[in-house]
Chains A and B, each alone.
Chain A
């Protein structure tokens, strides 16, 4: 239909053009008349379609509820949704008719009728809006009508809306985690969440049980997250930095041409692969080594250790740190190196005493940018770090992290509005705020650093 509108608009403009003496006498090319007609045909009906789709569920549910007998409504008391769901299930054949009460079956039959009418009505409305829109433009086509300007306006509008999706996403994230978190904090005080030392949300599964509220002290999670992230950074920062230095200051071109892409491959490996590697190979190796060294006498050695997850995560972050350091080191002006070399410094002295101090802010920024990666990394810790919320600094013990808990709380069956589910959103909120803060700080530092040498 949109195509039809396009051709209708275009042919109309062509027809008018012949009347006034040819295409050059039109304000815009025929293409734009066609395009404008098509746009007026498509966009309003699409908008209606979208709104309709979101709204119709609500209206239909209300209509169904109106159909249901009073007695049934009183029976379930306030859980209208449940009944409506049953009606839908029966209508779609998921639930056998024989099992449902009569009034549900009746309502489901009614529902089918409503749905059919709904679809028909929608089609009719959309079609007619499309036709009306096209007609509206079609009528307006005259030699003086500035179709091109209108089309360009629409084009710009589409571009602008696309650009705003980034903002919408952020708003979406903030709303989704914030609202659920606020609900959570009405059930569990925020101070308990932030400063409590015990985490055992599993107790909340069975309702009516003693102490069913569980305990939601997230400190063990924060400590676990920081422990693993710290191990990862201890691995990644020196290794990544030294790799970048060696590649840019010492290695000859052939070596660099091979090593650089190889390190980049490390960045492209999916995290689930790292997780598998950590769980299958690294964790048992570390446990065996810990026991082999006789460390089990002094501390707990778990098969899922913070060290395994941290080490593998560190390897994952190496290319990130190294490429950021590379940029930063290359931004240090050659004149500084010349100055130091001219005084008779060795290469390492130039790097250690001139290049690195000069690049320090940039490198700090890079490390801060790597932080959110380590803190927000999910799969490696889910697969290798474990679930036990131990409050420990022992890297050989099993710890859990914020991301692991979000996954465990939300995967599988869940009821909304239980503190257990909401807790995941509260954790998500903390994660979001921390990563955003770190990122903002890092970008600020890096920007300042760049300005210094521009």
Chain B
């Protein structure tokens, strides 16, 4: 017996080295797996932040503008139409020519004019229209630079200038402006105060943000009450029958249906059958409602299940009706959990893109929407549109818009976590 035992111990001992190598390999595989996930997360964030941070600043060029009424072709400052049709582009060009008198040829002049954003003349017009007394004066303005110059100047400041879109002459002009202190990088207010534009320096996310908010408002207003009502029915009332089972299976399956299918539904039913308009937050909200409903129903049901049966029994025992029990006792206790689920569902809806493409919220819309029936786009769709644009300046705009979107999502998720923590109840 002793002999056999010692062989066993020896054999085990002999196998150990190999087994511990396998153990180590297995553990390392686990660490590598986790590192892959974390590394991907970091790569994503670093890439977005690295690209996007530039999107929040914008190059501006200082010009002395002579608001000469002749040049503007405005003779009667009280005639609104005349003021609004003034030749503002002309005075800006004049100011540029004055600054760079050596530029003579037509081609060079066109290059010179292109330094200033197309939006500058509109801005000047708005300023003059607000205060007609400016006409006749000489004023100093900071105008937005065109996107190619903006990119060049910003990359120049970072030490690695991107010169593909500006030639030598233009670079010399920029150098001259830098010397005179007439060019600088400032906060990009246009990004937050305007809608989309085909000019990167003028494009902003306000329209998309408002569109997202309007769409989300519809989604929340519809999906939360419906989701909660459905959850109450399924948890508190539903008899155990075929229909109930069918509803439950349906909800679980809808949660797995790809979002683009909901887009097809929206297109075929809401737009074609019901004749609703395209590109409006109302339809977007309806589609997202159907998409987020399963999430909200499932989290609401979980919240209802967390309410102990003793509470229901206590209320029913006092002679409260079922509806009173639910409305007065169960629902208030389950509400925090339901709200958390709703916020998570909203975060999901906020990041959703594909179904909204189907219902035409992908149109190029300059105006900032103001109501649920205005044409609008949403933030993720805006990101999609910009990421498709060839201009290099849109890369940083896209990344900046992503940063804003992520900020919203982080905010919502933090809210959900805090809400859960704060209102958590221990039985």
Contact = CB atoms under 8 A, between A and B. Distances in A.
B30 interface: yes
Interface string A359-374: 0000000000100110
A172 B261 contact: no
A377 B354 CA distance: 9
B95 interface: no
Given A156-B237, A167-B246, A406 B402 contact: no
A238 B234 contact: no
A163 B234 contact: yes
B31 interface: yes
Nearest to A179: B268
A177 B264 contact: yes
Interface in B19-74: 19-20, 22-23, 26-27, 29-34, 36-38, 40-41, 43-44, 47-48, 51
B272 A416 contact: yes
Given A166-B230, A275-B384, A270 B38 contact: no
B358 interface: yes
B258 A152 contact: no
B317 interface: no
Contacts of B253: 170, 436, 439-440
A215 interface: no
B247 interface: yes
Nearest to A281: B47
A279 B321 contact: no
A268 B411 CA distance: 12
A369 B258 CA distance: 12
Interface in A424-448: 424-425, 428, 431-432, 435-436, 438-440, 443
A447 to B, nearest CB: 10
A155 B258 contact: no
A391 B161 CA distance: 42
User: Helix, strand, loop or mixed for chain A's interface?
Assistant: helix
B27 A246 contact: yes
Nearest to A276: B387
A379 B294 CA distance: 21
A377 B227 CA distance: 25
Nearest to A152: B323
B101 to A, nearest CB: 42
A427 B43 CA distance: 34
Interface stretch (A37-45, A258-266, A328-336): A258-266
Contacts of B405: 270, 273
Contacts of A152: 321-323
A112 interface: no
A246 B30 contact: yes
B274 A238 contact: no
Nearest to A265: B41
Nearest to B272: A416
A390 interface: no
Contacts of B257: 173, 372, 376, 432, 435-436
Given A162-B226, A319-B37, A403-B260, A245 B30 contact: yes
Contacts of B29: 242
A434 to B, nearest CB: 10
B383 A407 contact: no
A411 B362 CA distance: 8
A446 to B, nearest CB: 11
Nearest to A311: B40
Nearest to B344: A268
B387 A383 contact: yes
Interface stretch (A1-9, A101-109, A342-350): A342-350
Interface in A164-189: 164-167, 169-170, 172-173, 175-177, 179-180
Given A277-B44, A376-B257, A163 B238 contact: yes
Nearest to A149: B321
A54 interface: yes
A250 interface: yes
Contacts of B267: 176, 410
A400 B218 CA distance: 34
* Count class of interface residues, chain B: 35 or more
Contacts of B37: 239, 243, 262-263, 266, 315, 318-319, 322
Interface stretch (B119-127, B142-150, B188-196, B345-353): B345-353
A148 B322 CA distance: 11
Given A166-B251, A166-B293, A177-B268, A403 B34 contact: no
Contacts of B23: 346-349
Nearest to B46: A281
Nearest to B229: A162
Contact of A172 (B27, B38, B259, B269): B269
Interface in B405-420: 405-406, 409, 413
Nearest to A271: B353
Nearest to A345: B19
Contacts of B366: none
A269 B230 contact: no
A318 B37 CA distance: 7
A346 B247 CA distance: 47
A57 interface: yes
B291 to A, nearest CB: 9
Nearest to A178: B268
A247 B31 CA distance: 9
Contacts of A73: none
A37 B297 CA distance: 30
Given A148-B321, A268-B413, A439-B253, A425 B264 contact: yes
A155 B22 CA distance: 62
A269 B247 contact: no
A24 to B, nearest CB: 14
B112 interface: no
Contacts of A262: 37-38, 41
Contacts of B36: 239, 315, 318
Nearest to B227: A162
B398 interface: yes
Contacts of A166: 230, 247, 250-251, 254, 293-294, 297
B48 A273 contact: yes
B12 interface: yes
A375 interface: yes
4 closest Cβ pairs, A-B complex: A376-B258, A246-B30, A270-B351, A176-B268
Given A246-B27, A270-B380, 18 more contacts: A57-B275, A156-B237, A156-B323, A163-B234, A166-B293, A166-B297, A172-B265, A176-B264, A247-B34, A265-B41, A268-B409, A318-B36, A346-B20, A369-B256, A376-B257, A379-B354, A410-B264, A410-B267
